[in-house]
Amino acid sequence: MAAAVELEGVNVTFGDFVAVKDANLTIEPGEFFSFLGPSGCGKTTLLRTISGFIEPTRGTVRIGGADMKGIGPNKRPTALIFQNLALFPMMTVAENIGYGLRVRGVPRHERDEKVKNLLIQVALAEHGHKKVSELSGGQKQRVAIARALAVEPSVLLLDEPLSALDLKLRQHMRAELRAIQKRVGITFIYITHDQGEALTMSDRIAVMNAGVIEQVGDGRAVYAEPRTPFVAAFVGENNQIRGRITARDGAMATLDTPLGTLSGRNPVALDVGQEALLFVRPEAMQLRANGTTVGFAGETLDVAYEGSVTHVTLRVKTGQKVMASLGGNPGLALPTPGEHLHLGFRPEDALLLARPERH
Ligand SMILES: Nc1ncnc2c1ncn2[C@@H]1O[C@H](COP(=O)(O)OP(=O)(O)OP(=O)(O)O)[C@@H](O)[C@H]1O
């Protein structure tokens, strides 16, 4: 089967400004694929390029194997759901869902049948007669999805569709969106700046920074095996410590830092003498007494007890803050602010990456 979407050397520039740089990517049929990155990194531009609202300055977009050059948005097998949903408030739910079919001249009985099925798929079977203005935020989301699905796109593009919802509903809708996608089986391409959203819903994620796709992988790969400092810092919390590589030993390396000698995994094969960043997640930190081999000391600034986990902020001698999320060992004596504390980590839980020049 042809890939759902292929990007080959896609560049989008606005005047001198490069909004998307050399995007190369294959999205498989039936995948839930997310673009994750901070505001302004080019996510929306890329989505609009796939849907046909923007022509790439250079490169090729293929959908279902076919080159989309010169093919307008309404001729592509895609549907786009915007942040604001753009539903018709005075129409009923059923009329909203059937709108695209009516415009295309689909006969009434066929339309009604289709709308009925879609209402079931998005769990709104009892709500077809209601006005959109009578629905909750989550229900409106589902109407927008059903309306987009009505015209049978092979790819559904979603531009931060949950960002207007409150936190609780947003979390609930993550599971719902994922379930709807699995049920209908078509490719979803989702853009978000919220890493929790991307991690919980996606089969794979492309992490973007300043127009560049820095890494593509499943949630675990981008969280546990980041390949660039940007990905390590953007996806989840991470402590980062600068230094210079002093020794290599197999998959590991040792770093000379202002906080002493620290070790970590060396997946990108940094060499002795190279400037590097050591990344260690707060949850990989332990109280030094636990037999860890590397670590540092500092003054406890803040202790936030959450039951299953306690978040500790330490100020180390360089003035840098280091975060530790200590596991909920019931016997754990909690540090107190002002206390001098030793924290450590297992070198296998830390990651060394090349320090970018602008760092
Ligand atoms: N039509 C345009 N003309 C000029 N610059 C543009 C245009 N559209 C987007 N840009 C610029 O391209 C960059 C990427 O914008 P884009 O909307 O793709 O970012 P984004 O990652 O979707 O951000 P957000 O999450 O804030 O929507 C931004 O710096 C933006 O100012």
* Residue 349 amino acid letter: D
Please identify, among 198, 229, 260, the residue that sits at the C-terminal boundary of a domain: 229
pLDDT confidence of residue 223: 96
Residues 195 and 278 in one domain: no
pLDDT confidence of residue 290: 53
pLDDT confidence of residue 103: 84
Nearest to 230 by CA among 245, 252, 208: 208
Residues 139 and 269 in one domain: no
For ligand 1, atom 28, the nearest C-alpha belongs to 40
pLDDT confidence of residue 308: 84
How many domains does the chain divide into?
Answer: 2
- State the DSSP code for 80: E
Q: What is the ipTM of this complex?
A: 0.92
Which of ligand 1's atoms lies nearest the C-alpha of 193? Answer: 25
Residues 283 and 210 in one domain: no
pLDDT confidence of residue 330: 62
Does residue 189 belong to any structural domain of this protein? Answer: yes
Q: What is the mean pLDDT of each run of 10 residues along the chain (359 residues)?
A: 91 95 96 95 95 96 95 90 79 90 87 90 86 85 88 90 78 85 91 92 97 97 95 95 95 94 94 96 82 78 89 93 83 83 91 83
Please identify, among 229, 249, 271, the residue that sits at the C-terminal boundary of a domain: 229
Predicted TM-score (pTM) of the model is 0.88
**Pocket of ligand 1, candidates 12, 17, 83, 157: which has the most ligand atoms within 8 Å of its Cβ, to mutate?**
17
Residue 79: which CATH number? 3.40.50.300
Residues 69 and 103 in one domain: yes
- The Cα 302–Cα 339 span in angstroms is 10
Token couple for 173: 């809708």
**Pocket of ligand 1, candidates 14, 158, 191: which has the most ligand atoms within 8 Å of its Cβ, to mutate?**
14
CA of 41 from ligand 1 middle (Å) equals 7
DSSP E strands, the chain: 5-14, 17-27, 32-36, 58-63, 66-67, 78-81, 155-159, 187-192, 204-209, 212-217, 239-249, 252-257, 260-265, 275-280, 286-287, 294-305, 309-316, 321-327, 340-345, 350-354
Does residue 359 belong to any structural domain of this protein? Answer: no
pLDDT confidence of residue 289: 59
Alpha helices by DSSP H, the chain: 43-51, 93-103, 108-121, 137-150, 167-184, 195-201, 219-224, 229-234
Q: Which domain holds residue 293?
A: 237-354
Residues 310 and 224 in one domain: no
